[in-house]
Amino acid sequence: MKNARPYLAWFAFAVLLALGAIRAMQWVRDHPEHMPTARFELAHPQGWATHRKLVAMVSDNDACFAALDRAGAGYERRPVVGEGVCRAAQRMVLTGDRFVPTMRPSNAAPGCAVSIAMALWNRDVVQPLAQRYFGQKVVALENLGSYNCRKIAGREAQSEHSTANAIDISAFVLADGTRISLINDWEEPDVRREFLVAVRDGSCGLFSTVLSPDYNQAHADHFHFDMAARTAGWTVCR
């Protein structure tokens, strides 16, 4: 019996290891949002792999639009514009207000990956915070556009706007008509500023880049969001 004890211990350990592996596999199946290899679905909650999947769709038009199709999202594709570093092939407009509030003006046409990120942002950040701070929903987003073939101000690097892989949001309009704007309310010590700061902070990690009035004067009147692909997937939030 003494000689059998080590084998029993190893057997028990192997059983525990197998049970742990089974539970881990079940957890992975139940949480695809954390798995980089799992197909992205708009209905999934955000997870560890969400940002990586969104960035991958910037260069995969078919996968990106297929994700919208599976979610039943209404959208209209816009013609490809530009060429070279300024070629924008994913430009689109989400129709209706199921995934993103009404856009003002309505002709902003960010890329597919940015649009999907905005849908998650609206669901997980904007609307919950609007309910928390104001007890009502955001019904419209004011924007300063998406596509603009140019370099980043003061730098030689090309802006993500050059491929419509970015959107600038300048104001939020609540159901009762209240307008909360970056230019007027960011510095005001009241609930509107608290809401805007909370939106900025909640956007970090979902988008590749989040720039606010705290970053520089050029962003005094808007949030800049983009889905830039960077080495090791790091993000910027300022």
The model's pLDDT over 118-171, given as tens digits with 9 standing for 90+, comes to 999 999 999 999 999 999 999 999 999 999 999 998 788 999 999 999 999 999
Please give the model's pTM, rounded to 2 decimal places.
0.90
Confidence of residue 186 (pLDDT cuts 50, 70, 90): very high
3-class DSSP state of 229: coil
pLDDT value for 2:
53
Domain ranges in the chain are 31-237
Helix (H/G/I), strand (E/B), else coil: 18: helix
Beta bridge partner(s), residue 236: 209
- Give CA–CA dist 111/103, Å, rounded: 15
Q: What is the pLDDT of residue 160?
A: 98
How deeply is 43 buried, as exposed, middle or buried, from its count of CB atoms within 10 A (0-12, 13-18, 19+)?
exposed
The bridge status of strand 179-181 relative to strand 102-104 is unpaired
Omega of the bond leading into 128 within 30 degrees of 0 (cis): no
pLDDT band at 31 (very low <50, low <70, confident <90, very high): confident
Is pLDDT above 90 for 14?
no
Is it the case that residue 22 has pLDDT exceeding 80? no
Q: What is the pLDDT of residues 86-95, one digit of tens each?
A: 999 999 999 9
Give the 3-state secondary structure of residue 211: strand
- Beta bridge partners, 151, equal 158
Distance CA 219, CA 11 (A): 62
Q: How many whole angstroms separate alpha carbon 78 and alpha carbon 90?
A: 8
